[in-house]
A and B are shown apart, each in its own frame.
Chain A
Amino acid sequence: MPLIVDRLTKIYPDGTRALHEVSFTVEDGEFVAIIGLSRAGKSTLLRCINRLIEPTSGRVIWNGIDITAASPRELRRIRRQIGMIFQQFNLVKRATVLTNVLTGRLGYVNPWLSLLGYFPPSEVQRAMQALERVGLADLADKRADELSGGQQQRVGIARALMQEPRLLLADEPVASLDPVLAHSILRYIEELNRKDGVTVLCSLHFLDLVHRYATRVIGLKDGIKVFDGRPDEIDDRRFKEIYGQEAERIGG
């Protein structure tokens, strides 16, 4: 079932128009890179899909359900199937790695028991498996802020894995990391996409990463969709459309 974004618009209270009538459809299993300058609306677009930010108008339909019209309870049921990872990892720094991973399961477990800090053993086992998958099982008891940036982002991926997501939203997942770590993180995301069939929407800065991992590219400029196609279709003219006339291509 596709993800349909239909004339999505977001105007912030201060009048900033972050998204303007953005429409596209993503089929299951696609790896869509979202590119554009800073403040082009990439983060806003991703956050409007799971309504961390309320869109001003337009619709987001996923699996035939209108997310933009969902009640709070429905919205939580939808969100728990949409994993999300962040540029700043957004881990709870004072909590252990294991607890951080377990929080990915909060939409599924008994809410009252979870408030007491209780997770069933089966969920703890699931969390350990997720950590094994990102190669951090031996760090489960460490505090999240003791980990390096790359490790923290892998914890973020493990947290998303706990949701058994059908869709993964990744907001600049490698922008805060050393370039050499970018590939290791993106390979985990690629594996989720290829092996588990998770649809991925991922905002990225570097075109070489886009060429290497994405199956499709959406370009945003000033909140407007200016490109939608295959990565190899981005020629110099398209590049300048997305990034502006002064921009110079580096890499990819």
Chain B
Amino acid sequence: MYRHRRWLQIIGALLALGIYAGSWHVVGIDLRKLVEPQAARRAQEIFTAFLTPEILVPERGIQRVEVPVRVPCESGNIPETAEVGEGPRLFLPPCASPGTQIRIRGEGFRPGSELVLRWVFAPSPQLPLGGELLAGRTRTDAAGHFELDVEIRPLLAQEGGARLQAEARWEGRWQISPALTRTMELTLQTIFLALMATTLATGVAAPLSFLAARNITARGPVGTAVYYLTRTIFNVVRSIEPLVVAAIFATWVGFGPFAGVLALTVATVVNLGKLFSEVIETIDPGPVEAITATGANTLQVIRYAVIPQITLPFLAFIIYHWDINVRISTVVGFVGGGGIGYQLKLWIDQTDYHKAGTAVWAIIAVVSAMDYVSARLRETIR
């Protein structure tokens, strides 16, 4: 007998060892991958980006003017022409000969900005896609003027001619980044998404929970059947992860918050349904008995003996689930359920890690805030 047990233990241990060895192999655990130089660089990049989320960005401005230049000149006389009008203007000869230098002046640009001059070529036989060539760099002065001598290269003599483009760029005041604005919008959307899902689910779960409460439903064969059926449905649906449900709804009604609401609603109905039915099962049976004894019907008994006892516990669970749903809805977005999660996935896919960092921090902030708020609310109503 003892010997027999010993053998079973050894076989069990060997079996467990085999399973673990197999699992290790199947999932391809390779701890070196975590510290390979390339991987470490990527990790550093991502973590640095996450730690420096994009919150403020400078305002960017740009001014651009283009003027055609003929090369070479047909006549020797070269009067200076001006591009006139509102805003920035360029002063330069209308044509030039290769190998010479022309003086280019500008007015009306933004004072103190970086200024780039380049030649822009239209598509031609030599340059089928057109092209650009840097002509020079300078800065505009305090009055928005600049002056720069530019060499006329032989290349400019090509067919189709070239245009001189002057571009002033500057960075202005720091302002809230579009990524942050978008993150805040979507965080709000996530909270509302969770709120809608919780509310819809409460509407479905509250009546269902009475069917799943033994002390209300499990009377007589029909009631008992309904009780077990409801319980079974709750347990089966509960075993399906919200993420899977979300993926299904995302294909059904399309990507977006609506799919997320539907998925969270399904998950919340079964969770709240089970919690609610447990609340109903633990109520004090005394008032139920007393009100039944007055000749009240079942609905009246529920209204006067059950509901007063379950309102606050229900409310506590609803708030708790709103909190949970905010948390889940950040992830549900990854599989097409809308909200901040979806945008986070887009940013990660675009390797826009600073923006992704903004979303990650927003998620951390909103989840902990909801955690705190829901805990406080539940304390208050206790």
**In whole angstroms, how far apart are the Cα atoms of A169 and B296 in the complex?**
17
A86 to B294, Cβ gap below 8 A?
A: no
Q: Does B303 contact A (CB under 8 A)?
A: yes
Chain A residues within an 8 Å CB radius of B309? 92-94
Q: Does B45 contact A (CB under 8 A)?
A: no
Q: Which of A77-85, A127-135, A188-196, A225-233 contacts B (4 or more CB under 8 A)?
A: A77-85
Q: Does B217 contact A (CB under 8 A)?
A: no
Contact with B along A134-167 (1 / 0, CB 8 A): 0000000000000000000000100100110000
Q: Does B99 contact A (CB under 8 A)?
A: no
B293 to A82, Cβ gap below 8 A?
A: yes
Chain B residues within an 8 Å CB radius of A120? none
**In whole angstroms, how far apart are the Cα atoms of A84 and B291 in the complex?**
9
What class of interface size applies to chain B in its complex with A?
Answer: 20 to 34
B299 to A80, Cβ gap below 8 A?
A: no
CB distance from A8 to the nearest CB of B (A): 18
Interface residues in B287-317 (C-beta closer than 8 Å to A)? 287, 289-297, 299-300, 303-305, 308-309, 311-312
Question: Nearest chain-B residue to A104 (Cβ)?
Answer: B294
Q: Does B37 contact A (CB under 8 A)?
A: no
**In whole angstroms, how far apart are the Cα atoms of A81 and B308 in the complex?**
25
Q: Does A114 contact B (CB under 8 A)?
A: yes
A79 to B303, Cβ gap below 8 A?
A: no
A114 to B300, Cβ gap below 8 A?
A: yes
Q: Does B286 contact A (CB under 8 A)?
A: yes
Question: Nearest chain-B residue to A88 (Cβ)?
Answer: B286
**In whole angstroms, how far apart are the Cα atoms of A113 and B296 in the complex?**
13
B294 to A106, Cβ gap below 8 A?
A: yes
**Most chain A C-beta atoms within 10 Å of own C-beta, residue among B289, B290, B293, B303:** B293
Chain B residues within an 8 Å CB radius of A82? 293
Contacts A86-B286, A88-B286; A103 near B304 (Cβ below 8 A): yes
**In whole angstroms, how far apart are the Cα atoms of A52 and B286 in the complex?**
11
> Taking chain B's interface residues, is the majority helix, strand, or loop, or is none over half, making it mixed?
helix
Chain A residues within an 8 Å CB radius of B299? 111, 115
A86 to B296, Cβ gap below 8 A?
A: no
A92 to B287, Cβ gap below 8 A?
A: yes
A52 to B289, Cβ gap below 8 A?
A: yes
B289 to A107, Cβ gap below 8 A?
A: no
**In whole angstroms, how far apart are the Cα atoms of A18 and B309 in the complex?**
30
Q: Does A65 contact B (CB under 8 A)?
A: no
CB distance from B229 to the nearest CB of A (A): 22
Question: Nearest chain-A residue to B296 (Cβ)?
Answer: A106
Q: Does A50 contact B (CB under 8 A)?
A: yes
B286 to A106, Cβ gap below 8 A?
A: no
**In whole angstroms, how far apart are the Cα atoms of A163 and B292 in the complex?**
12
A76 to B297, Cβ gap below 8 A?
A: yes
**In whole angstroms, how far apart are the Cα atoms of A50 and B289 in the complex?**
11
A91 to B290, Cβ gap below 8 A?
A: yes
Q: Does A95 contact B (CB under 8 A)?
A: yes
Interface residues of B, Cβ cutoff 8 Å to A? 284, 286-287, 289-297, 299-300, 303-305, 308-309, 311-312
Interface residues of A, Cβ cutoff 8 Å to B? 50, 52, 76-82, 84, 86, 88-95, 99, 103-108, 111, 114-115, 117, 156, 159, 162-163, 169
Known: A107-B294, A114-B303. 10 other contacts (CB 8 A): A76-B296, A79-B294, A86-B290, A94-B308, A94-B311, A104-B294, A105-B294, A106-B304, A108-B295, A117-B303
List 17 A-B pairs, Cβ < 8 Å: A50-B293, A52-B292, A76-B297, A79-B292, A80-B295, A82-B293, A84-B294, A86-B289, A92-B287, A95-B304, A103-B294, A106-B291, A106-B297, A106-B300, A107-B294, A107-B296, A114-B300
